[in-house]
Amino acid sequence: MSGTTAAPRGLRLARIGGVDVHLDRSWFVIAVLTVALYGPVLWRLYPELGWLNLVVAFGFALGLAFSVLVHELAHALVGRAAGWPVGRIVLTLMGGHTTFGAVRASPGSTAVVSLVGPIANIILAGIGTALMLLAPAQNAGPGWALLQLLVLANWILGLFNVLPGLPLDGGRVVEALIWRLTGSESKGTTVAAWCGRGLAVLILVWVLFQGLWRSPITLLIMFMIAAFIFTGATQALKQARVLGRVRPLRASTIARPALEFSPDTALSLVDASVLALTSQGYSGWTPDVVARDAASGRVGVLSPQRAATVSDDVRASTPVGDVMEWSPATATAPADERGDDLLRHLEINGFPWVLVLDPDRAVVGVVHHRDIARHITGR
């Protein structure tokens, strides 16, 4: 599945095709559950292996992680081919996800990038099925049992993820379809999110009628899956409402005013300039003081807290760059940037603010998170 998320907690495993792969700490929970579920089954089938059955069960957990990685790599590589900036892949308790940078996607690219993940798992399952049909029957053993489990897991990963509801990949296809029909991405997300909520309820109803609640471990797993889908769908629904409100806005209409200085400008001169601008009955926003470092390409906004620590007797010798909060050069947005794209840009990259630039690359303002929130809430 694809999406956005906070910085991962856990291990950085590798960099594949230019994409960082992380293992979230929550993955170890599913590894323990896998061993607890399948270890005893293998032990009954192959008692002569003893404790090695637990090693084989853990091998299934690793194979499952590999299958999820293939799924997410398919998202990442096809997304990159579509021009989407790829962030990272994270393997988690509930499978995994791929993060993408801010991008103006289309219904078509959204559907294609979403579908390739499940297709990758179905291809793996098909290859595994073919190997099992071609292999001699006398090869049956722990390795054969492990292959059977992995083939089944890939069939489930592939087919389950095409179910039509967010946050599953099939939900993204529903979102893309409604988006194409209505011209509104937020309407597509809303419909797909409600489909996801419906799926979560259907899963619990199915558990009830199948009597799966009699097995505590199976009940726990199914409840976790239903909760994951319902929570993800609810989050998507909230996001759709927010994006629908900010979409008509533009960065230039959200931005507060800004005054740009060279990083080596004395702080006392900056003080005098701001005071001169905001005196004589000025009633607008106090402008943010900004700077751009030509050498590093970084952009900065003055930190009032840092500036307040500089005493009056040294402000004339303190460059304003010393009290700036610096961010990468990508913490900028064009003046005509849509409000929804601007919000994604801030959230995905973790920027506290972005500088708004006109077509000539001059700074025309600054947008903070609270500025967008003010337009959403009307406060």
Task: State the pLDDT at residue 206.
Answer: 92
Q: Which of 246, 271, 304 lies at the terminal end of a domain, its last residue?
A: 246
Tens-digit pLDDT profile for residues 131-152: 888 876 666 677 888 888 899 9
Q: Provide the residue range defining the domain that includes 264.
A: 251-377
Residue 350 has pLDDT above 70, yes or no: yes
Domain identity same for 156 and 85: yes
Domain identity same for 216 and 274: no
The mean of the pLDDT values for the chain is 89
Going by C-alpha positions, the residue among 55, 65, 52 that lies closest to residue 35 is 55
> Where are any strands of DSSP class E within 194-275?
258-260
Domain identity same for 105 and 214: yes
Q: How far is CA 130 from the centre of its chain?
A: 35
CATH number at residue 261: 3.10.580.10
Domain identity same for 195 and 289: no
Looking at the structure of the chain, the number of domains it has is: 2
Domain identity same for 233 and 261: no
114 in Cβ contact with 176 (< 8 Å): yes
Alpha-carbon distance values, 89 to 5, 47, 77, 92, 99 (Å) = 10, 38, 11, 10, 7
Domain identity same for 58 and 199: yes
Residue 279 has pLDDT above 60, yes or no: yes
**Cα separation, 308 vs 216, whole angstroms:** 59
Domain identity same for 273 and 349: yes
Q: Which of 201, 227, 246 lies at the terminal end of a domain, its last residue?
A: 246
Domain identity same for 197 and 78: yes
**Cα separation, 289 vs 333, whole angstroms:** 17
Domain identity same for 170 and 309: no
User: In this structure, are strands 95-100 and 2-3 parallel, antiparallel, or unpaired?
Assistant: parallel
93 in Cβ contact with 24 (< 8 Å): yes
Q: Could you write out the DSSP letters of every residue in 148-212?
A: HHHHHHHHHHHHHTTSSSTTSHHHHHHHHHHHHHHS-HHHHHHHHHHHHHHHHHHHHHHHHHHTG
Domain identity same for 229 and 359: no
Q: Which of 188, 223, 246 lies at the terminal end of a domain, its last residue?
A: 246
Domain identity same for 99 and 200: yes
Tens-digit pLDDT profile for residues 84-138: 888 899 999 888 899 887 666 899 999 999 999 999 999 999 999 998 888 766 6
Tens-digit pLDDT profile for residues 16-49: 988 999 999 989 988 898 888 888 888 888 888 8
Better-scored residue on pLDDT, 164 or 242: 164
Domain identity same for 286 and 227: no
What pTM, to 2 d.p., does this model score?
A: 0.75
Task: State the pLDDT at residue 78.
Answer: 95
